[in-house]
Structure 1
Amino acid sequence: MIPYRVLVVDDSIFMRKIISDLLSGNPRLKVVDTAVNGAEAVEKVKQLKPDVVTMDVEMPVMDGLRALQKIMAEHPTPVVMLSSLTQEGAAATVKALQSGAVDFIGKPSGSISLDLYKVKLELHQKLMAAARSNVRPIGLPAQPDKKESAVSATKPARRPPFSSGTGNTEGPKAEGRRHFSHLVAIGTSTGGPRALQQVLSGFPANFPAPILIVQHMPPVFTSSLARRLDSSSAIRVVEAEDGMTVRSGTAYIAPGGYHLLLQREGADQYRTRLSAEGTRSGHRPSVDVLFESLLPFKELKRHAVLMTGMGSDGAAGMLALKQAGAVTTIAEAEETCVVYGMPRAAVERGAAIHILPQQHISGKLVQLIET
Structure 2
Amino acid sequence: MIRAVVVDDSAFMRKMLSDILNEHPEITVVATARNGKDGLDKIAEHQPDVVTLDVEMPVMTGIEALEEIMNTTKTPVIMVSSMTKEGAETTMKAMELGAFDFIAKPSGAISLDIEKVKDNLFEKVLYARQVSRNTLTPLKKIAPVKRLDQFKRTAFHQNNKISSASQTTTKTIVAIGTSTGGPKALQRVLTTLPADFPYPIMIVQHMPKGFTRSLSERLNSLSAITVKEAEDGDILQKGVAYIAPGGYHLKVRRIGTSVGIHLDQLAFVNGHRPSVDAMLLSLAEICPERVIAVVMTGMGADGKEGLIRLKKAHNTTVIAESENTAVVYGMPKAAFEANIVDAVRDLNDISSEILKHC
Alignment TM-score, normalising by the size of structure 2: 0.89
Q: Residues 80-159 of structure 1: matches in 2 within 5 Å? A: 80-136=78-134, 137-139=136-138, 156=146, 159=150
Following superposition, the deviation at residue 72 of structure 1 comes to 1.6
Following superposition, the deviation at residue 260 of structure 1 comes to 1.1
Is residue 160–residue 203 contact of structure 1 (8 Å, CA) maintained in 2?
no
Q: Does 1:23 align with 2:13?
A: no
Is residue 216–residue 285 contact of structure 1 (8 Å, CA) maintained in 2?
yes
Residues 52 and 297 of structure 1: CA distance in aligned 2, closer, same or farther (over 3 Å): same
Is residue 160–residue 366 contact of structure 1 (8 Å, CA) maintained in 2?
no
Q: Residues 233-244 of structure 1: matches in 2 within 5 Å? A: 233-244=223-234
C-alpha distance in 2, partners of 1:299/1:285?
A: 21
C-alpha distance in 2, partners of 1:238/1:57?
A: 25
SS in 1 for 2:235: coil
Following superposition, the deviation at residue 244 of structure 1 comes to 0.6
Of the three residues 145, 153, 160, the one matched with 1:162 is: 153
Is residue 230–residue 245 contact of structure 2 (8 Å, CA) maintained in 1?
yes
Please tell me the root mean square deviation across aligned C-alpha atoms, in Å: 2.3
Paired residues, number: 345
Following superposition, the deviation at residue 354 of structure 1 comes to 1.0
Tell which deviates more after alignment, 317-326 or 74-83.
317-326
Amino acid at match of 2:310: L
C-alpha distance in 1, partners of 2:96/2:263?
A: 26
Residues 163 and 238 of structure 1: CA distance in aligned 2, closer, same or farther (over 3 Å): farther
Q: In the alignment, what sits opposite 2:297?
A: 308
Q: In the alignment, what sits opposite 2:176?
A: 186
Q: In the alignment, what sits opposite 2:208?
A: 218
SS in 2 for 1:335: coil
Following superposition, the deviation at residue 127 of structure 1 comes to 1.5
Residues 322 and 246 of structure 1: CA distance in aligned 2, closer, same or farther (over 3 Å): same
Tell which deviates more after alignment, 108-117 or 207-216.
108-117
Tell which deviates more after alignment, 273-282 or 43-52.
43-52
C-alpha distance in 1, partners of 2:140/2:342?
A: 36
Following superposition, the deviation at residue 237 of structure 1 comes to 0.4
Runs of 4+ more than 4 Å apart:
139-142, 177-180, 296-299
C-alpha distance in 2, partners of 1:249/1:68?
A: 34
Amino acid at match of 1:198: R
Q: Does 1:319 align with 2:317?
A: no
Q: Does 1:231 align with 2:221?
A: yes
Of the three residues 346, 349, 355, the one matched with 2:344 is: 355
Residues 208 and 6 of structure 1: CA distance in aligned 2, closer, same or farther (over 3 Å): same
SS in 1 for 2:198: coil
Of the three residues 54, 73, 76, the one matched with 1:75 is: 73
Is residue 305–residue 331 contact of structure 1 (8 Å, CA) maintained in 2?
yes
C-alpha distance in 2, partners of 1:352/1:245?
A: 29
Q: Does 1:275 align with 2:264?
A: yes
Of the three residues 48, 54, 60, the one matched with 2:46 is: 48
Amino acid at match of 1:29: I
Give CA-to-partner distance per residue, 1:307-358, whole Å, 9 cap, x none. Answer: 1111111011112222223341011111211111111111111111111111
Residues 80 and 139 of structure 1: CA distance in aligned 2, closer, same or farther (over 3 Å): closer
C-alpha distance in 2, partners of 1:141/1:313?
A: 29
SS in 1 for 2:184: helix
C-alpha distance in 2, partners of 1:157/1:43?
A: 40
Residues 117 and 163 of structure 1: CA distance in aligned 2, closer, same or farther (over 3 Å): farther
Following superposition, the deviation at residue 236 of structure 1 comes to 0.6
For structure 1, the residue ranges without an aligned partner over 5 or more in a row are 143-150, 165-176
C-alpha distance in 1, partners of 2:287/2:112?
A: 52
Is residue 9–residue 36 contact of structure 1 (8 Å, CA) maintained in 2?
yes
Is residue 168–residue 198 contact of structure 2 (8 Å, CA) maintained in 1?
no
Q: In the alignment, what sits opposite 1:148?
A: none
Q: In the alignment, what sits opposite 2:330?
A: 341
Residues 155 and 237 of structure 1: CA distance in aligned 2, closer, same or farther (over 3 Å): farther
Q: Percent identical across equivalent pairs?
A: 49
C-alpha distance in 1, partners of 2:351/2:145?
A: 11
For structure 2, the residue ranges without an aligned partner over 5 or more in a row are 156-166
Q: In the alignment, what sits opposite 2:163?
A: none
